């Protein structure tokens, strides 16, 4: 959040879907949408991937790696859709789960 100046004025800024989609594609191109989340457990992964614990058992200290890379654009082009009541970001992401039995 930026600093708030109580003596400042409020403004309204309009950004088109095209501009937002261009920013999203730029973020993918610059590899800004890549992250690694360590110390997860299989229960938290099961919330993302239904049936994970049933298939792979209960685990602790699992690492998730997610990336939206330029190569994914061949599979699916991300986009932002703005409606009066909702805004939706659609994207394709590779999600890798490191083997919790190996370091």
User: Which candidate, 99, 97, 102, 103, places its Cα nearest to that of 44?
Assistant: 97
Q: What confidence score (pLDDT) does residue 103 get?
A: 56
Residue 95: pLDDT over 60: yes
pLDDT in tens, 46-77: 777 778 778 777 878 777 777 776 676 667 77
Q: What confidence score (pLDDT) does residue 1 get?
A: 52
Are the C-beta atoms of residues 65 and 95 closer than 8 Å to each other? yes
Residue 39: pLDDT over 70: yes
């Amino acid at each position: 959040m930026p600093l708030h100046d109580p003596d400042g004025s409020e403004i309204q800024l309009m950004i088109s879907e095209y501009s937002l989609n261009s920013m999203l594609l730029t973020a993918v191109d610059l590899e800004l949408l890549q992250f690694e989340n360590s110390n997860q457990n299989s229960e938290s992964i099961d919330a993302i991937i239904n049936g994970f614990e049933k298939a792979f058992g209960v685990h602790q200290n699992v690492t998730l790696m997610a990336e939206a890379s330029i190569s994914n654009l061949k599979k699916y082009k991300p986009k932002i859709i703005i409606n009066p009541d909702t805004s939706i970001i659609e994207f394709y992401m590779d999600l890798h789960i490191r083997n919790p039995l190996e370091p």
